[in-house]
Amino acid sequence: MELGHPGLVQKLVARLEREGPLSFAAFMEAALYDPDFGYYMTAGPRIGREGDYYTSLDVHPIFAELVGRQVAQAAEAIAPSGEFTIVEMGAGKGLLAKHLLTAYRRDNPDFLARLRYLLVERSPVMVETQKQRLRELRDAGLSVAWVPDLDAIPADSITGVFLSNELVDAFPVHRVVKRPLGLREIFVGWDGSRFVEIEAPPCSSALEAYFARLGISLEAGQEAEVNLAALEWMRLVGARLRRGLVVTIDYGHAAVDLLAPARKTGTLLGYYRHTVSDSPYLRVGQQDLTAHVDFTSLALAGQDVGLEVTGFTNQLHFLIGLGIESAFAGLDPESPQVAAMRELLRPDGMGTTYKVLVQHKGMLAPQLDGLRSRPYFKDALMRLPSPHDPLHSGEQRVPREGQGEGHNAQNPHPNPLPDRERENISVVP
Ligand SMILES: C[S@@+](CC[C@H](N)C(=O)[O-])C[C@H]1O[C@@H](n2cnc3c(N)ncnc32)[C@H](O)[C@@H]1O
């Protein structure tokens, strides 16, 4: 099987020969974001039927419409008049912006008139796709703009909402394993014909500090990912928010579940043409790489910059709280629309693997419909390991993420719906 994009493999090998082994995070950064050859930086369908994986935004526009409904409700508490900003980070194909703004144009023109929509996207290829998708809305006079990173947004300047769907799972992660001598980091080397893993003491004390802050120790032989980039991102976001919310939607768990001994080999996965791979060293630059999100660490990092947890729930409860069921009303239960909405809510798939973390700053916690039923809420994020929890008792072993057949709770991205169904999906009236 191919090692990957020839230009990227050559570049990486030259770097490894020059600098020695790289942290896995540096390897993943190159695989996804090398400016010349990285997976997200080169042309290609990537997300959707022609690409490698689906997100909720591909499943049905109702997802974006309900997120928009949540933002509009929150806006009443954040700033009932004056300019309001939505900052969407990692917008991919621009579907969230398109469907959310289209729904505002139809249902909420007064809010739209005071709304500024700012997209933060590091991939120039994705920015082009987003610009094309949003051209009609921009031509109609809506305020939509782009910046390449959060540094372009002044500190303490945003009144509004920072929004992301599947951003944090796309950040490069460090990988660690617990050995008798302590925590070891996994580095990547080159043996002359293939990429190989090398264990060595961690490159930064931040890796040990990450587990110490959580009060969690890995078991002997257990592997895990550490997303230091997510902590830095949360700090940057918090520093830019003056008054409002951060809404982070992604697949992941509270730390106590994500780092449970039963999850022996971590959650790192590759996606290529809707199949899951557990080797990051094949198709380098040609397959997506991703790891589940530790929402507890995000919440803790947020606290350092004044972000309080408003609530934490899963996609199923979030969408039901926002009234997704009323969109089903009157539709044929066998229709593609209903099939798509069921996909978003599946208790053994997107409905529970995907979580929603809401944080607020500069205001009291607002009442939000999406957090009405609270299966997790804050306490779940801060829970510590308990011997009564099956994931911690040694009674259960979770297979490597993605090993289960097809659509299961381990593999966050849904299998594609049959073509016939997908082609017939249209916006729910
Ligand atoms: C997994 S895709 C999700 C796309 C879209 N939100 C969706 O749900 O379909 C991740 C997106 O985040 C972008 N991205 C990754 N790191 C980023 C960063 N630090 N700042 C802005 N965008 C980033 C990628 O280029 C890509 O567009």
pLDDT of residue 285: 97
Q: 299, 293, 296, 304: which is closest to 239 by C-alpha?
A: 304
DSSP letters for 324-363: HHHHHTTS-TTSHHHHHHHHHH-TTTHHHHEEEEEEEESS
pLDDT of residue 380: 81
Asked if the structure places residue 200 within a domain, the reply is no
Asked if the structure places residue 11 within a domain, the reply is no
Ligand 1, residue 41: give the atom nearest the CA.
Answer: 25
More confident residue, 220 or 278: 220
**pLDDT above 80: residue 393:** no
Report the C-alpha gap between 178 and 222 in whole angstroms.
6
Report the C-alpha gap between 221 and 33 in whole angstroms.
30
pLDDT of residue 426: 30
More confident residue, 35 or 50: 35
pTM of the model as a whole: 0.93
Q: Say if CB 279 and CB 270 are below 8 A apart.
A: yes
Asked if the structure places residue 205 within a domain, the reply is no
Asked if the structure places residue 44 within a domain, the reply is yes
Identify the DSSP state of 202. Answer: -
> What tens digit of pLDDT does each residue of 44-90 get?
889 998 899 999 999 999 999 999 999 999 999 999 999 999 999 99
How many angstroms does the Cα of residue 88 sit away from the middle of ligand 1? 10
Contacts of 330 by beta carbon, 8 Å cutoff, 6+ apart:
none
Q: Is 280 in the pocket of ligand 1 (CB under 6 A)?
A: no
Question: Which CATH number fits the domain that encloses residue 112?
Answer: 3.40.50.12710
Q: Say if CB 266 and CB 337 are below 8 A apart.
A: no
Asked if the structure places residue 3 within a domain, the reply is no
Cα of 309 vs its chain's centroid, Å: 18
Per-residue pLDDT band at 425 (split at 50, 70, 90):
very low
Per-residue pLDDT band at 201 (split at 50, 70, 90):
very high
pLDDT of residue 376: 61
Q: 351, 355, 349, 356: which is closest to 411 by C-alpha?
A: 349
Q: Say if CB 247 and CB 163 are below 8 A apart.
A: yes
Q: Say if CB 223 and CB 292 are below 8 A apart.
A: no
Asked if the structure places residue 337 within a domain, the reply is yes
Per-residue pLDDT band at 422 (split at 50, 70, 90):
very low
How many angstroms does the Cα of residue 38 sit away from the middle of ligand 1? 13
How deeply is 402 buried, as exposed, middle or buried, from its count of CB atoms within 10 A (0-12, 13-18, 19+)? Answer: buried
Pocket of ligand 1, candidates 121, 163, 165: which has the most ligand atoms within 8 Å of its Cβ, to mutate? Answer: 121
How many angstroms does the Cα of residue 83 sit away from the middle of ligand 1? 26
Contacts of 53 by beta carbon, 8 Å cutoff, 6+ apart:
47, 271, 274, 288, 413
Asked if the structure places residue 46 within a domain, the reply is yes
**pLDDT above 80: residue 427:** no
Burial 123-158 (b: 16+ CB within 10 A, else e): beebbebbeebbeebeeeebbbebeeebeebeeeeb
Determine which residue's CA is closest to atom 11 belonging to ligand 1.
90
Determine which residue's CA is closest to atom 27 belonging to ligand 1.
92
pLDDT of residue 25: 98
Ligand 1, residue 126: give the atom nearest the CA.
Answer: 27
Q: Is 130 in the pocket of ligand 1 (CB under 6 A)?
A: no
Q: Are strands 84-89 and 158-165 parallel, antiparallel or unpaired?
A: parallel
pLDDT of residue 150: 98
Domain count along the chain: 1
Asked if the structure places residue 149 within a domain, the reply is yes
Q: Say if CB 246 and CB 307 are below 8 A apart.
A: yes
Report the C-alpha gap between 158 and 241 in whole angstroms.
5
**pLDDT above 50: residue 244:** yes
pLDDT of residue 377: 62
How many angstroms does the Cα of residue 259 sit away from the middle of ligand 1? 24
Contacts of 333 by beta carbon, 8 Å cutoff, 6+ apart:
none
Q: Is 122 in the pocket of ligand 1 (CB under 6 A)?
A: yes
Q: Is 172 in the pocket of ligand 1 (CB under 6 A)?
A: no
**pLDDT above 70: residue 317:** yes
Which residue range is the domain that position 42 belongs to?
30-171+227-406+414-422
Per-residue pLDDT band at 408 (split at 50, 70, 90):
very low
Identify the DSSP state of 417. Answer: P
